[in-house]
Structure 1
Amino acid sequence: MSDTFKSDLLAAIPSLRAFAVSLAQNSDRADDLVQETLVKAWDKQASFQPGTNLKAWLFTILRNEFYSQMRKRGREVQDSEGAMTARLAVHPSQEGKLDLDDFRKALQQLPEDQREAIILIGASGFSYEEAAEICDCAVGTIKSRVSRARARLQEILKISGEAEYGPDAISAQVMGSSAT
């Protein structure tokens, strides 16, 4: 059966291509449709009933493939300029997770009063006055604890400023240029 099937398949190609061009309105897409149709037909030749209309069977496969591709394209976002992709780009999370782990370990090394003060001011967003009230101490004491905590964290983490935390310079540059 496969020799006859093969020759009938080859004979149907011009008609398949004409039908594909009429559906796709693009010769490249039409060629892809015909190729996909032939692959599927060859793969499913055992399901073809000899003596029935092969051409109709092939046209049905081609039509179904065309509509499947159209449904798929309907769910896809066209982004030929890369604008959507650039907005979706994010820095890799590995570095941030490692930085956070290091920070947590360093935070645990601080004396309890400094750790409490820096968490209230830096992480919880309280003002110095509110933190002083919470800790039942003077505002100056809270400011001093926060200052000593920041200095100690920089020492433990071996950083000299904010620029050393977060994405490295190369990642920041790549992310900055892809967003434009």
Structure 2
Amino acid sequence: MLDTFHDLLLQTLPALKGFALLLTRNRQWAEDLTQETSLRALTRAHQFQPGTNFKAWIFTIMRNQHLDQIRRRRRETQLTDDADALDALMSVRPAQEDGLMLKELLDAVGDLNRGQRETLLLVAGNGLSYEEASKVCGCPVGTIRSRLARARQTLQDRMMGPAPAGPHQPAIARSGRRPEWNQA
């Protein structure tokens, strides 16, 4: 069992690192989160039930670790804006169009609210089912579907601009006017 557990952990590490980076939006914190998650998973290997979804199990651990870190950091002194500004000055921006588009997409994903971002990363980024993502996030499947739809729509609007109103929408929606009874 232990060899299989280690194999599963090693296979999942790239996805864990990616999820951690998008959760924290800070490379150093993401590395710390990945290490803490791996350590916690190893110490709790006896709690994993073979035959269940390892990815969902370890992503739940990571999400809980991340929430614990947020609570801890709130109690600690916040980093100064100067360190973030220095980081931005030291980084080299890509000149290629693909790199710029990727950065724009990652920025858009980073601007999603936490629930939408987590859901998008779990379902679209890491291939978890709606049911598995609902277990990781601790919410109903319907909430996962809603978060994912809203996240996708937000990203599409940001990357491609809002979709024009189609003929299937009511005249009020096409005109952009609010109904008279709702105007104040």
TM-score, normalised by the number of residues in structure 1: 0.43
Bigger radius of gyration: 1
TM-score, normalised by the number of residues in structure 2: 0.42
